[in-house]
Every structure is written in structure tokens, then in C-alpha cells.
Amino acid sequence: MSTTIASSPVAAVPTSKGTKIAGWVLSTIVILFLTLDAVMKFVKPEAVVKTTVQLGYPESSIVVLGLILIVSVLLYAIPRTALLGAVLLTGYLGGAVAAHVRIGNPLFGYILFPVYLGILVWGGLYLRNARLRALFPFAR
């Protein structure tokens, strides 16, 4: 007999309105920030081009990075695809950490910033998604 998350008693527990609101507030912060980041990759102001090149990426990759980011953010913003979006954003942010480590940027302010965003991505999704909370029941 197999049990799915959707039929588990934990998933059936209703999510409080405050928990959902907190989840959406965290998620909205991430969505707005990363959407701005993606838009800046399409606009390509001098600061974005300079920073991207300093991180070791060619200028020609900026729009591609923007496309990957905006698709991931859109998937994260849609409740049905939010888990896929969170996974894709985690990979994207992991690449940002790796790029900063590779060029020797300071830990605080550069390397850890994408980690903080990743925590917000997953924290927001955890609070707004009862099925994810059923998978990781931290507060029982």
C-alpha cells in the first residue's frame, strides 16, 4: 500500500492565513528582486556588463542569464510550478556563489548574498505550500 503526500494527514491540515501571507511576503521579495535582476540583464547598463565580465562571463552571456533567471522566477511565482522554480533558482544562485568564490570575492556581502536569497526562496515556498511542509515537518 503506497501513500502519497496529497493523501497524508499532514497535507490535509489547513494552512493558517498568517502562514500563507508570510510565505507570499517572502516569495514576493525574492520575485521582485530577481525580476529586477533579470530585467537589468536585458537592459544591460554598464554596471551589469562590467560585473558580469569581472565574474568571468562573456558579455554575450548576459541576455541568456537573464532568460534563464526570468523563466525560473516565473515558474517560482506560479503555485503549480513553484517547486520546479525553486529548484531552478537554487541552481542559478549556486552558480552565483561559485562565481564569487572563484574570483575571490569576500564571504560577507558577495558569496553569502545568493545563499540568503536561496533561504528566502525556500522559506517562502515552505510557508505557502502545505505539501512541502508535509515533506519537511520541522514543527510538529
Rounded mean pLDDT of 121-138?
88
Angle between helix 82-103 and helix 17-43 axes, rounded to 10 deg: 50
Half-sphere exposure of 138 (CA within 13 A, CB side): 6
Q: Which residues contact 101 (CB under 8 A, 6 or more apart)?
A: 111
CB 73 within 8 A of CB 89: yes
The percentage of residues in the chain with a pLDDT greater than 70, rounded to a whole number, is 89
Half-sphere exposure of 21 (CA within 13 A, CB side): 3
**pLDDT band, residue 127 (cuts 50/70/90):** very high
The pTM for the full model equals 0.85
**pLDDT band, residue 136 (cuts 50/70/90):** confident
**Chain-wide mean pLDDT for the chain?**
89
